[in-house]
Amino acid sequence: MKSLFYFHSVVLLLLVGCSNDQEGLEANRPNILFIIADDLRNDLGAYGADHVVSPNLDALASESLVFNRAYCQKAVCWPSRNSFFSGLMPASLGKKTNAFSTFRFEHPDISSLPQWFKQHGWFTRGFGKILHNGQDDPVSWSEPYFEPEPIHYAAEENLGKHPIINKSVPENRLNPLFESADVTDDAYEDGLTAKAAQKAIREAANREEPFFMMVGFHKPHTPFNAPKKYWDLYNRDSIPLAAFPNPPKNVDEKYSVHNSNYVRSFKDIPQSGQMPNELAREIRHAYYACISYVDALVGSLLDELEASGQRENTIVVFTSDHGYQLGDHSLWSKHTNFELATRVPLFVSVPGASTRGSSTDSLVELVDLFPTLAELCGLTLPDHLEGKSFRRVLFDSEAKVREEAYSEYNRNGARGCSIRTDRFRYIEWRDQKSGDVVARELYDHAHDPGENVNVAEEGEYDGEIENLSKLVATRM
């Protein structure tokens, strides 16, 4: 068996890895399994987070190129997901779109990522949270998209409750931020999503055409609910608190931070100020239990892929729509331009690639996934794409395709434009009416990887700021 696997791996490497053999790439036509978590920061064993139990994702990482510097376009679900799904930057998605519509509102005729593969002969399926809650893109799928009915809570005392953002309504405050219910995996919607995707993977083995499947899990998004067995993997006393619980020094808090209103909208969560340490540790425990839950569900998909005999011809992608702050810089949630909110885990497993089991510091963005996957499969690229393919990084982990990664998040009438280079994170806040710069932030990762001190006003960095500001202007 090992020699047979080696043979197939070498063949696939020759087909997928040879940059001049586009015909070979198209002839190979690998499957693609694209898995998306929600609100997942880089707290995984593969990234050195030993306090998190993530054996299945760590195993996938050992078969993948692990990206240490992958970034979302915007640290909030809707624009991030619509961006990588469409191949457009958030600013191009359309000014009239909102949380109840998709990129199709202003771009009805472009091809989405799965749709492009469908148009080139792939059988496409979608499961769970791919775009925003309740959103679908029917033309992207060969069969109707699957999303189970929302099951936010499974504990008997919480059945039927729904986490609503509007904390001004008193009854909303009755909904807990987390629960540990002694239930099976499919008591929550993510478990149902995994079961449906497993069935589709099994059935795909009997099809002649390759498949392109996207599977989206809601967790570890709030509420932080997971079956009790995943909570039991942790000793709460050993769970670390945020290393840097205060806002960065020298920032204008009007733009840089927020009050964590969504997390504070749940039952028994303080409406302001720092979380008490005991509660903070309990929330982090809940979040990590959700990670372990997602990890188990990812493992079920990979096991099905292996059992069906399709693993050796399947590219697997695992990522998240954005990161998350668990008390870091006083913040709970995303909605910032900081490293912890904009950085995402990214594993790309290409069978036969020499970079499998290694990592790269090459800067990439989620909007780059569309052109990368298309090029891996020998497809031409649609004209509307705004990302860059990092295909060659997958075969040479030292290669670079970007000098910077761009993200943005707006607050209080200012557009926050952020770029991450090898050494710096620079954030420029521009008044949305006048375009004037109203605040700047600069973090020197060589000395301050936690982004705790804004050094934008320190004269020694004036030259860097001038260059970085010019770079920001090219990405706005």
User: CB–CB of 339/328 below 8 Å?
Assistant: no
SS3 91: helix
Quick check: is 107 catalytic?
A: no
What is the C-alpha to C-alpha distance for residues 286 and 326, in angstroms, rounded to an integer?
Answer: 11
User: CB–CB of 191/146 below 8 Å?
Assistant: no
Quick check: is 335 catalytic?
A: no
C-alpha to C-alpha distances, 473 to 134, 241, 338, 361, 437, nearest whole angstrom = 35, 37, 19, 24, 12
What is the C-alpha to C-alpha distance for residues 96 and 374, in angstroms, rounded to an integer?
Answer: 29
String of DSSP letters for 117-178: HHHTT-EEEEEESSSSTT---GGG-SS--B-PPP----SGGGTT----S-TTSGGGGGS-SE
Q: Which amino acid would we find at residue 30? A: P
C-alpha to C-alpha distances, 433 to 257, 289, 358, 409, nearest whole angstrom = 21, 43, 46, 16
If we measure between CA atoms, which residue out of 116, 130, 137, 160 comes closest to residue 381?
116
C-alpha to C-alpha distances, 270 to 158, 261, 288, nearest whole angstrom = 20, 10, 21
Identify any residues that bridge with 407 across adjacent strands, giving them in sequence order. Answer: 418
SS3 326: strand
Which residue among 72, 107, 132, 218 is the active-site one? 132
Which residue among 77, 290, 377, 417 is the active-site one? 77
Q: Which residues are catalytic?
A: 77, 132
